[in-house]
Structure 1
Amino acid sequence: MTTIARFVSGRITAWVTLALSAATIGLLFAVVPSAEADSFPAAGLPESAESARVAALLDEFPSADSTVGIVVWSRDGNELSDDDVAAITERAADLADISTTPEAVRPQVSDDGAAALVAVPLDASTVEDDVAGTADEIRALASVELPDGLDARLTGPVGFQDDVADAFAGADVRLLLVTVIVVAVLLIVTYRSPVLWIVPLAVVGTADGLARIVATALAEAAGVTIDASVGGILSVLVFGAGTNYALLLVARYREELLVQEDRHRAMTTAVRSAGPAIAASGGTVALSLLTLLLASLSGNRALGFACAVGVVIAIVFALVVLPAALVVCGRGLFWPFVPRVGHRAHRAQRPGFWTRLGRGVSRRPAIVATASIAGIGALLLGLGGYTVGLSQTDQFLGSPDSVLAQETIDTSFSAGLTSRTTVLTPDGAADDTASLVGDLDGVDTVQAGESDGTLTAVSVTLDAEPESEAAFDTIRSMRAAIADADGAVSDALVGGSDATALDTGDAAAADLALIVPIILAIVFVILALLLRSLVAPVLLIASVLATFFASLGAGNWLFLNVLDFPAFDANVTLYAFLFLVALGVDYNIFLTTRAREERVLHGTREGMIRALASTGGVITSAGILLAAVFAVLGVLPVVALTQVGIIVCIGVLLDTLVVRTVLVPALVFLTGDAFWWPTNAPLEAAREPATGARNERETRELSGS
């Protein structure tokens, strides 16, 4: 780290660093192909999943390359008139002209007379090539010259796919714009300078742009699909983590400028001191993300791969490009509060806020720790009613056409009419399988369909809303009944959209159970190596876990009682755990590495006070900024991303404002030197009263307000 620090901070080599960085970045932007992220996230199930096996077998059927758009006409719950039915019949004839099976496009009026629908079979490959164009064409044909008050809406596979794509349309630009504005405002407030914020924002913004193209290109080469949701989280993570690292480096650089005339030497010291913490914290995040490569869902693997690449790029920019840019710009970058040697001596003699807080906690650590734990425990009560699994219509913020149409179908038709459940059974057992499935609770209709010569596809309509818990219960009952059946019926497989959603939820739960212990082990090893302690990692990990469960509880309470989200999306818990644990370790590392550094000369208690005085402000600023950046995910009309953003936002604020600034210092004060076990005790000279008095003065000067 010393060699890197000297090179990026040198009078000449800083310019060389910037020139080489600019050339490398420009070359990568020019050479690396820019690939478009998929707008529609795929299920990404492993081939062993039953629904994935059904999907693979259905590819061999005559109708394999087909999908369907379902158009629903209604009058806001009122009964359709004869003129309405006549117009709908005409529109159905027009829709038949674009269908692969025109004779199947026939209007069906609900028993209550309040709605009508047609299913329009379409070529799947044609739809996939232009989902938006196909959806627009269907909507246009279905809406021509309708009587006043009669609405046509598109749902089914084509409708939902188009609405998901619309939800992410322009998401990159919108998310990036809001993120940049949030980061810029918070940097201006933090630095209290109209100039300084420009450099970190420009560096982090460039890192984000480079991370996008590099991650997408590498993922494509590795056969990993990056969809729009992964791209959004990648951008937020790079901006959040990169700005955090920038805040830490700038804070340490400013601190050194107060004692060194030569800004190049000051930056060398800042990089040498803050660099290991930045590298360790970023490395922890990257390694934690890479554990997702062990996941069974391809979407989880894609997120881990892309975000790990992004974090590594953010670390490189923070330790190479940013120091060179800051030192080249000179002290004037901090205007109007330019740090000068000797300014410390003129600071207020009263201890700063963080010094007073540290000393207050040190006087009553048991009370502070107990109160903090009680507060965290209160938030855990919000976990009551915690459930996982959103139905298809619950996955959007707002009410797109596909959701409104599905609600009409739920009211006037069978709720499961728009979802496909397919049972593949040996040809000779088709009738017995259909009879067995038809007798199950939750099944509305059963119809034997086409055969590929070996297997028959039995089409099943459920009573329940697509991808709801009731639908999942029916799928489970169906699979259990088939497994218990005699003869060839027991070889049948259950697939379709509801089965795929169920298998996806099960795979997500399995990924969570697999990944969590691995991440905790990685964090423990990194903390143990960095702090050279076995006690400290245990306490710090416990504090991070407490933060995670407390934020999950607070988020669950908000979702159920304020935002009206009935459950968590399948992957939200895993993503929230990953980001809160990995990013929470960032602040642990920032604080405890400084405490360890101060401990060598000043002892454990005074070292922690000095560390809190030095890092309290920057950790709080970084936490508020990171929380705000993750909250930006709420600009996308997708419930899963909103949930991730809210939980991480709550967790980061709780971590920086309570756990890292109050609870962890209290734990250090309670455990004393044992916190660093088995590292040797500090020098006896560090415990002399005279040193303590001197440290008090130095701490005041360092953290004075």
Structure 2
Amino acid sequence: MGVGRLASAILRTITGRVGAWLVLPVVVAAAAALIVVGGSASTDDDPAGGLPADAESARVEALRDRLPSGQLNPALVVYARDGSPLTEADRQVIADQSARFAAIAEGGRVGPQVPAEDGRAVLVPIPMPAERPVQETVDQVTEVREIASAGLPAGLTAQVTGGAGFRADIASSFSGANVTLLVITVLVVAALLLVTYRSPWLWLVPLAVVGLADLTTNSLLALLSREAGLRLDPSTIGIVDVLVFGAGTNYALLLIARYREELRRHDDRREAMRRSLRSAGPAIAASAMTVALSLLTLLAAPLTTNRSLGVAGAVGITVAATFGLVLLPAALVVCGRGLFWPFVPRPGEPVRHQGVWARAGALVARRPRTITALSLVFLAILAAGVADARLGLSRTEQFRVQAESIEALETLSRHYPAGAADPTVVVARADRQAEVLAAVTGTPGVAQARPAEQGDGLVAVDVVLEAEPDSRASYDTIEALRTAVHAVPDADALVGGAVAANLDNRTAAIDGLRRVVPLVIGVVTVILVLLLRALVAPLVLVGTVVATYFAALGVGNLLFVHVLDYAALDTGVPLLSFLFLVALGVDYNIFLSTRAREEAVGQGTRRGVLTALAATGGVITSAGILLAAVFAVLGVLPLVTLTEIGIIVGVGVLLDTLLVRTLLVPAIATLCGERFWWPGRPHRPGPAEPTGLAERTGLAERTGSTSGGPARTGTAG
């Protein structure tokens, strides 16, 4: 059986009188079984867990596992009194509470108190196991906080921070956040579908299909996390939910728009669906393949979190497209035309004209050079906002919610050296301790250093930096410290700790940007070349989407710095925003360009592009607004990183939908003419079977010349 016959057989099965009724229960039952077997995915809240194994800070953590403290993740209780020294009553309460902390501390012993030089604060370390499950850590930190807050003298404060405190606060901040994200996403999608379709029940079908796709995706990810060791964190789950709902609903919008169009031409709704799948199916499949393969380029990124997100996102997009091309068509033909009530499409009805898109096409046809120039200048002005962008947020700047562990750091900074809360750690051979310690203390920017422990031939040195953690000055000190200790002969000294890990994370993020961006551009370009059988059009489409990315990044940076008062772009934001915006933004250009190529066969490129713009304008704009709204919902999650990604992608999608796809790409295509498809030549001049929308609906004679543009073109979607 040839490929064409196989495809026809599959289409007949999905849309057939009996086949559709079989497809529905089989797919739903298979999804339900997978949901039951897969269960819920376990997540990893360790913020440093994504570093590559060869990063210096990761190597330090591996070596520390050989030391006693390597098995510990302490909570730090900060007692402080602003404006006056601690009193005897304060010290007595701290001593009493420390005795109670011993019941929680690993080994039953609390670490020695560390008083501040100004006499106004005391730090009490409580050892806790590093490998304990997240919920147990949350419970223990909660118990510590209950003890520390009870019976304090007036004016004395107690706050819990440290590794355990941060871990507990991260977990607590995400508690219920993904459920809230999912609920708001569903409500946003439902509202926009209801407005788009103006039907009391049509919106329920795509929403149910996409919702089932999301549940299936989460179950597949749970299986992959258990069986293949796929590392997932709460933010990954949230991003994948947004991808599945955003992309899945876009695919549904495109298919249903084409189906409605075909229902006006055919009495048999099954034949209408088969024609819809033949026309829109390749564009949907190509779009999904573009996004999935683009996400898989994250496998080249150094950070484990990025690689896991790439795999998880590709799984989600694949499931969403599969459900959209199999389950959704079967459900639509089973429900029949009445699903569109009160606007039921009937055979022979004229295509409803979308005046706004016809007028946009006419404007493009009259002034293609002016529109191209103005659009590019506008994008360049927006992109100028990137000029003062900073990269990297400190730990205290990464959360949008109040967290006691963050507030405790601010208290510590008032009474201790800036780096005291998160000491840098130098691990070296024990027999070179004196030389390493001399190199550390001689490094500019080091406030103090002391040997912390020895074991298994290693020594760990705790180093307090003068600079604020995660500031440019602290990173400079880490780099100088590494240079100094690496120069000690035969010491095998390495520098780690939270600040060093954040520096390594920043370096890895920049490295990932350099690796992944060319791969994404290459993947998208190759797919467009194969899909459109052209070279010029793919380069134009990719170039315009990249320009949109820089414009959105510029707008986002201005908004973050001057309106939302964020300190900078987080390290992962440029890469993930580029990936999502380019991969998803190309979707709309795929929908437009495939339709334009189809129309160009009978009408030529200039008229075909304008007809395609009118035919796809409504559905693509609806899809773009929906996708932008869905990404904006990422702001529900507590991380500044996700808020920044959501805003940049949302702004970029709107720019792409309303400016680039509506004006810039059609203007460039109009200027290029038939060369737009070079070296292909889709246009076949002379008498031919009508193939384009304008010819099929009798509009070809009324579209006007290429200089005047279409007077009336339309769409059914």
TM-score (normalised: structure 2): 0.93
- Residue 490 of structure 2 corresponds to residue 488 of structure 1: yes
Contact (CA 8 Å) 2:611, 2:713: kept in 1 or not?
A: no
Q: Does 1:379 align with 2:382?
A: yes
Counterpart position of 2:418: 415
Deviation at 1:69, TM superposition (A): 0.7
Is the contact between residue 427 and residue 459 of structure 2 (CA under 8 Å) also seen in structure 1? Answer: yes
The residue type paired with residue 600 of structure 2 is R
Q: CA deviation at 1:658?
A: 0.6
Which AA in structure 2 matches 1:211? T
Amino acid of the structure 2 residue aligned with 1:86: Q
> Per the alignment, do residues 469 and 31 of structure 1 end up closer, same or farther by CA in structure 2, a change over 3 Å counting?
same
Aligned mates of 1:589, 1:472 — CA distance in 2: 44
Where in structure 2 are the equivalents of 1:377-526 lying within 5 Å? Answer: 377-483=380-486, 485-489=487-491, 491-526=492-527
Deviates more, 1:623-632 or 1:71-80: 71-80
C-alpha contact 1:208 1:238 (8 A) present in aligned 2? yes
Letter in 2 for 1:600: V
Corresponding residue to 2:165 among 153, 159, 162? 159
* AA partner of residue 475 (structure 1): I
Q: 64-73 or 630-639: which moved more?
A: 64-73
C-alpha distance in structure 1 between counterparts of 2:256 and 2:81, whole Å: 61
CA contact (8 A) 2:439 2:488 kept: no
Tell me, yes or no, if structure 1 residue 244 matches structure 2 residue 256.
Answer: no
Q: Deviations over 1:524-552 (max 9, x none)?
A: 11000100100111111100100111111
Deviations 1:385-410 (A, max 9, x none): 21211111111003210111101111
Where 2:425 maps in the other structure, the secondary structure is strand
- Are the counterparts in 2 of residues 92 and 106 from structure 1 also a CA contact under 8 Å? no
Q: Give 1:221's aligned residue.
A: 227
SS state at 2:608 partner = helix
| 8 Å contact from structure 2 (residues 259, 272) kept in 1 | yes
Within 2, Cα distance between the matches of 1:198 and 1:681?
39
Change over 3 Å in CA distance of 1:78–1:10 after alignment to 2: farther
3-state SS of paired residue (1:441): coil
In structure 2, how many angstroms separate the alpha carbons of the residues matched to 1:222 and 1:699? 57
Aligned to 1:275: 281
Match of 1:285 in 2: 291
Answering whether residue 633 of structure 2 is matched by residue 632 of structure 1, we say yes
Deviation at 1:301, TM superposition (A): 1.1
The aligned counterpart of 1:642 is 643
Call closer, same or farther: CA 1:42–1:455 in 2, change over 3 Å: closer
Deviations 1:562-614 (A, max 9, x none): 11111122211111011001001101100000000000001101101110011
Report the equivalent of 1:341.
347
Partner of 1:36: 42
Conserved? CA contact 2:66–2:456, under 8 Å = no
CA distance in 2, matches of 1:43, 1:279: 35
Deviation at 1:65, TM superposition (A): 1.1
Tell me, in whole angstroms, the C-alpha distance in 2 between the residues paired with 1:667 and 1:325. 39
Which residue matches 1:590? 591
| Separation in 2, partners of 1:35, 1:701 | 49
| Deviation, structure 1 residue 682 | 1.5
Contact 2:297–2:516 under 8 Å retained in 1: yes
Quote the residue 1:658 is aligned against. 659
1:25-59 CA deviation, whole Å, 9 max, x = no partner? Answer: 12222333443233444432222111111111111
Q: Which residue number corresponds to residue 185 of structure 1?
A: 191
Q: d(CA) in 1 for partners of 2:411 and 2:179?
A: 34
CA distance in 2, matches of 1:527, 1:291: 17
Q: Tell whether 2:306 aligns with 1:294.
A: no
**Per the alignment, in what secondary structure is the counterpart of residue 223 of structure 1?**
coil
Query: 2:335 maps to which residue?
Result: 329
Q: CA, structure 1 residues 8+511, in 2 after alignment: closer, same or farther (shift >3 Å)?
A: same
What corresponds to 1:305 in structure 2? 311
3-state secondary structure, aligned to 2:392? coil
Q: Which amino acid aligns with 2:685?
A: E
d(CA) in 2 for partners of 1:77 and 1:193?
Answer: 65
Q: Tell me the amino acid that sits aligned with residue 569 of structure 1.
A: D
Per-residue deviation at 1:617? 0.8
**Alpha-carbon distance in 2 for matches of 1:126, 1:603:** 67
C-alpha displacement at 1:140, in angstroms? 1.4
Instruction: Count residues with an aligned counterpart.
Output: 700
Q: 1:694 aligns with which of 701, 705, 709?
A: 701
Of 170, 178, 181, the match for 1:172? 178
- Note the residue ranges of structure 1 that are not aligned, 5 or more in a row: none
Q: Distance in 1 between matches of 2:687 and 2:484?
A: 73
Which of 376-385 and 31-40 deviates more? 31-40
CA offsets 1:200-250 (integer angstroms, 9 cap, x no match)? 000000100100111221243222211111100000000000000000001
Farther off after superposition, 498-507 or 313-322 = 498-507
Q: Residue 602 of structure 1 contacts residue 695 of structure 1 at CA under 8 Å; is this kept in 2?
A: no
Q: In 2, Cα distance between the equivalents of 1:421 and 1:362?
A: 63
1:579 aligned onto 2:571:
no
Instruction: Quote how far apart the aligned CAs of 1:266 are.
Output: 0.8
Matched, 1:196 2:202: yes
Which residue does 2:601 correspond to in 1? 600
Contact 2:602 2:685 in 1 (8 A): no
Number of the residue aligned with 2:537: 536
CA distance in 2, matches of 1:39, 1:451: 29
Residues 324-380 of structure 1: CA deviation (Å, up to 9, x unaligned):
1111111111111111123217x57xx621111111111101101111111111111
Q: Give the 3 Å change call, closer, same or farther, for CA 594–78 of structure 1 in structure 2.
A: farther
* Percent of paired sites with the same residue: 50
| Contact 1:424–1:493 (Cα < 8 Å) also in 2 | yes
Between the aligned partners of 1:229 and 1:158, the Cα distance in structure 2 is 20
The answer on whether the counterparts of 2:184 and 2:633 sit within 8 Å (CA) in structure 1 is yes
Matched, 1:92 2:98: yes
Please provide the CA RMSD for this pair: 2.3
Please give the secondary structure, in 2, of the residue aligned with 1:617. helix
Moved more, 258-267 or 580-589: 258-267
Deviation at residue 412 of structure 1 after TM alignment = 1.7
Query: In the superposition, relative to structure 1, how do residues 619 and 78 fare at CA in structure 2: closer, same or farther (>3 Å)?
Result: farther
CA distance in 1, matches of 2:37, 2:65: 38
1:611 alignment counterpart: 612
Look up the equivalent residue of 1:529 and give its one-letter code.
Answer: L
Q: Distance in 1 between matches of 2:86 and 2:402?
A: 23
> Judging changes above 3 Å, is the alpha-carbon distance between structure 1 residues 115 and 451 closer, same or farther for their aligned structure 2 residues?
closer
SS in 2 for 1:146: coil
Find the aligned partners of 1:3 and 1:556 in 2 and give their Cα distance. 51
Q: Which amino acid aligns with 1:633?
A: L
Deviation at 1:16, TM superposition (A): 1.3
Determine whether 1:358 maps to 2:361: yes
SS of equivalent to 2:703: helix
Measured in 2, the distance between the counterparts of 1:163 and 1:486 equals 39
- The alignment partner of 1:124 has SS state of coil
| Unaligned runs of at least 5 residues, structure 2 | 1-6, 705-709
Given the superposition, is the C-alpha separation of residues 676 and 692 from structure 1 closer, same or farther in structure 2, using an over 3 Å criterion? farther
Q: What is the DSSP-based 3-state SS (H/G/I as helix, E as strand, rest coil) of the residue aligned with 1:344?
A: coil
> TM-score, length-normalised on structure 1?
0.95
